[in-house]
C-alpha cells in the first residue's frame, strides 16, 4: 500500500529523542513522560512510543481506552495512563490492559472504588482549568480515601502565556493538595509548564506538543527540533499564459507566463484552506508558493524557477511555529490534522 501513496511524512527519530531529552533535562529530578494521545499528535503513536522508550521514557498518556487498545503492548518497564478516566463500558478493557485511569469526577472515583478497589489509578484535580478534574473542595471530603493513587495531577491553563497570574495560582493550589493527598507521584507541568522552571516539575512532567517540534515559549526556541516534514508527489505541471486563473473562485491570476505544479495534498489531508497564498512547497531549498485556493485533495504551487516535473517529490514547508503564525492555525492543529493518507517514514 505504501508504494501507492502520493503523500509522505518524513519523521525524524533523532529529533524526537533529542526533544524528549531536552525536556527531561529542564525538569530537573522529575521523570519525563510523554503524551501520545491523538495517535502520537498525528505522527503515529506506536512509532513514537517505541522511539521514546528507547530514549528512556517510561510514562505514557493517551486520551481514551480506544487509543490504549490501538497502541498495543508497551515496551518493557513502561506504564500507560488514560486521561479521560473510566466509564462503565471501559471497565472490562481497563481490567485487561493494566493501564491506569485518570479519575476526573466524583462519579468516576465512585465507579472505580466499586469495580476495582485497590487497583492503581491516577487522579486529576482541577486547579483552575475548569475542564476535567475533581475540585480541590471535593478532594478534601474523604472522597479519595482508599484509592491507590499512583499520580496526583493537575493541568496548567496558561503556561504558554508569559507572566500569566493563573500559573502561580495553580502552582500554589497544587502544592497545598500535595501535602493533603497521599500519592506515589505528583505531576503538574505540560510542555510549556516545563519551561516555567523546576518549581512546576514535581515528580513527573507530561510534555506533548514540544516532543513533536512545537515551540510554545521563548525558552524552547533553538532547543526544540522539527520532527515532521511532509513530502508530496507532483501529479502534473502546467504552463499558464499571462491572465490565466487558478483554482476554485479564480482567486489567483498569473501576471506573466508561469509554470505551476499540481500536488497531491489538500484540506482532506490537514492542509487547510488557510495555507492558500501563505504556504509553500520546497524544491530543495527553493520555496514554491501556493497559488489559488487549497482544494480537498490538490494544491497548485508556482514552480517557474525550477525544473520540476510530474512524478517528482516536493517537500512542504511545515515549520510549526512559523506556519502557525502564517495561517492562524495552532501548532496542535497543524500536527493532529494530518490524515491517514500519508505514508509515515521514520528515519
List pLDDT tens digits, range 271-299. Answer: 999 999 999 999 999 999 999 999 999 99
CATH number at residue 291: 2.40.37.10
Tens digit of each residue's pLDDT (9 = 90 or more) over 305-322: 999 999 999 999 999 999
Q: Mark whether 83 and 172 lie in a shared domain.
A: yes
Tell me the CA distances in angstroms from 339 to 38, 43, 67, one per residue in order: 11, 10, 16
Other C-beta atoms lying within 10 Å of the C-beta of residue 100: 23
Of 37, 113, 186, 212, which one is the catalytic site residue? 37
Of 113, 248, 267, 271, which one is the catalytic site residue? 248
Residues 6+ apart with CB under 8 A from 30: 189, 198, 201, 202, 203, 204, 205
Closest CA to 86 of 67, 60, 65, 113: 65
3 state SS of 249: helix
Q: Mark whether 193 and 146 lie in a shared domain.
A: yes
Tell me the CA distances in angstroms from 157 to 17, 170, 240, one per residue in order: 26, 9, 50
Q: How confident is the model at residue 3 (pLDDT cuts 50, 70, 90)?
A: confident
Q: Mark whether 28 and 152 lie in a shared domain.
A: yes
Cα–Cα–Cα angle for 135, 133, 183, nearest 5°? 85
Give the pLDDT mean for 97-109.
97
Q: What gap in Å lies between CA 276 and CA 247, rounded to an integer?
A: 11
Q: How confident is the model at residue 47 (pLDDT cuts 50, 70, 90)?
A: very high
Q: Mark whether 237 and 290 lie in a shared domain.
A: yes
Q: Mark whether 111 and 168 lie in a shared domain.
A: yes
- Whether residue 347 is contained in a domain is answered as no
| Residue 37 designated active-site | yes
- Whether residue 327 is contained in a domain is answered as no
How many helices (H) and strands (E) the chain has is answered by: 11, 19
SS3 content of the chain, % helix, strand, coil (to 5): 35, 25, 40
**Residue where one domain finishes, among candidates 219, 245, 262:** 219
Q: Mark whether 31 and 168 lie in a shared domain.
A: yes
Q: What gap in Å lies between CA 311 and CA 232, rounded to an integer?
A: 10
Owning domain of residue 304:
228-318
Q: What kind and span of H or E run contains 21?
A: helix 13-26
Whether the CB-CB separation of 229 and 12 falls below 8 Å is answered with yes
Q: Say which residue, 117 or 174, is predicted with more confidence.
A: 174
Residues 6+ apart with CB under 8 A from 97: 65, 68, 69, 80
Tally of structural domains, the chain: 2
| Residue 248 designated active-site | yes
Proportion of the chain above pLDDT 90, given as a percent: 97
Q: Mark whether 162 and 238 lie in a shared domain.
A: no
Strand 59-62, strand 79-82: pairing: parallel
Q: Mark whether 214 and 270 lie in a shared domain.
A: no
Q: Mark whether 106 and 194 lie in a shared domain.
A: yes
Residues 6+ apart with CB under 8 A from 182: 149
CATH number at residue 123: 3.20.20.10
Query: Quick one: pLDDT at residue 4?
Result: 84
Q: Mark whether 129 and 157 lie in a shared domain.
A: yes
- Whether residue 5 is contained in a domain is answered as no
- Whether residue 335 is contained in a domain is answered as no
Query: Quick one: pLDDT at residue 295?
Result: 98
Q: Mark whether 184 and 294 lie in a shared domain.
A: no
Q: How confident is the model at residue 2 (pLDDT cuts 50, 70, 90)?
A: confident
What nine digits make up the cell of 135? 475540585
DSSP assigned state of 57 = -
Tens digit of each residue's pLDDT (9 = 90 or more) over 197-248: 999 999 999 999 999 999 999 999 999 999 999 999 999 999 999 999 999 9
Q: What is the DSSP string of 99-160?
A: PEEEE-SHHHHHHHHHHHTTSEEEEEB-SS--SSSB-HHHHTTTTTTT-EEEEEE---SSTT
**Residue where one domain finishes, among candidates 192, 219, 246:** 219
For the chain, give the number of residues: 347
Q: What's the mean per-residue pLDDT of the chain? A: 97
- Whether residue 30 is contained in a domain is answered as yes
Query: Quick one: pLDDT at residue 109?
Result: 98
Query: Quick one: pLDDT at residue 1?
Result: 66
Q: What gap in Å lies between CA 259 and CA 215, rounded to an integer?
A: 35
Cα–Cα–Cα angle for 15, 20, 24, nearest 5°? 145
- Whether residue 8 is contained in a domain is answered as no
**Residue where one domain finishes, among candidates 219, 254, 275:** 219
On the question of pLDDT at 91 being above 70, the answer is yes
- Whether residue 343 is contained in a domain is answered as no
Q: Mark whether 132 and 179 lie in a shared domain.
A: yes
Q: What gap in Å lies between CA 328 and CA 216, rounded to an integer?
A: 14
- Whether residue 38 is contained in a domain is answered as yes
Amino acid at each position: 500500500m505504501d508504494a501507492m501513496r502520493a503523500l509522505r511524512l518524513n519523521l525524524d527519530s533523532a529529533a524526537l529523542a533529542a526533544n524528549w531529552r531536552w525536556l527531561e533535562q529542564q525538569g530537573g529530578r522529575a521523570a519525563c513522560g510523554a503524551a501520545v494521545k491523538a495517535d502520537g499528535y498525528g505522527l503515529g503513536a506506536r512509532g513514537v512510543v517505541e522511539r521514546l522508550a528507547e530514549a528512556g521514557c517510561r510514562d505514557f498518556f493517551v486520551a481514551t481506552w480506544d487509543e490504549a487498545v490501538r497502541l498495543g503492548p508497551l515496551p518493557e518497564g513502561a506504564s500507560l495512563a488514560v486521561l479521560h478516566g473510566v466509564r462503565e463500558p471501559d471497565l472490562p478493557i481497563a481490567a485487561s490492559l493494566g493501564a491506569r485511569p485518570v479519575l476526573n469526577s466524583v462519579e468516576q472515583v465512585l465507579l472505580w472504588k466499586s469495580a476495582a478497589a485497590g487497583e492503581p489509578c491516577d487522579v486529576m484535580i482541577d486547579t483552575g482549568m475548569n475542564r476535567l478534574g475533581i475540585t480541590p473542595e471535593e478532594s478534601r471530603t474523604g472522597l479519595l480515601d482508599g484509592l491507590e493513587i499512583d499520580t496526583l495531577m493537575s493541568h496548567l491553563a496558561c503556561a504558554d502565556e508569559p507572566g500569566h497570574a493563573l500559573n502561580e495560582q495553580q502552582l500554589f493550589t497544587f502544592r497545598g493538595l500535595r501535602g493533603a493527598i497521599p500519592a506515589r507521584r505528583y505531576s503538574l507541568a505540560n510542555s510549556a509548564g516545563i519551561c516555567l522552571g523546576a518549581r512546576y516539575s514535581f515528580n513527573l512532567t507530561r510534555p506533548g506538543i514540544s516532543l513533536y517540534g512545537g515551540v510554545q515559549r521563548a525558552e524552547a526556541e533553538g532547543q526544540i527540533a522539527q520532527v515532521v516534514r511532509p513530502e508530496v508527489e507532483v501529479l502534473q505541471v502546467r504552463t499558464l499564459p499571462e491572465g490565466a486563473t487558478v483554482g476554485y473562485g479564480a482567486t489567483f491570476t498569473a501576471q506573466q507566463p508561469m509554470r505551476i505544479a499540481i500536488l497531491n495534498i489538500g484540506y482532506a489531508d490537514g492542509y487547510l484552506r488557510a495555507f492558500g497564498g501563505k504556504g509553500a512547497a520546497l524544491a530543495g531549498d527553493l520555496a514554491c508558493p501556493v497559488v489559488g485556493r487549497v482544494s480537498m485533495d490538490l494544491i497548485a504551487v508556482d514552480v517557474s524557477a525550477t525544473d520540476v516535473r510530474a512524478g517528482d517529490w516536493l517537500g512542504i514547508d511545515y515549520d510549526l511555529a512559523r506556519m502557525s503564525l502564517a495561517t492562524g492555525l495552532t501548532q496542535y492543529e497543524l500536527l493532529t490534522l494530518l490524515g491517514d493518507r500519508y505514508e509515515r517514514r521514520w528515519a
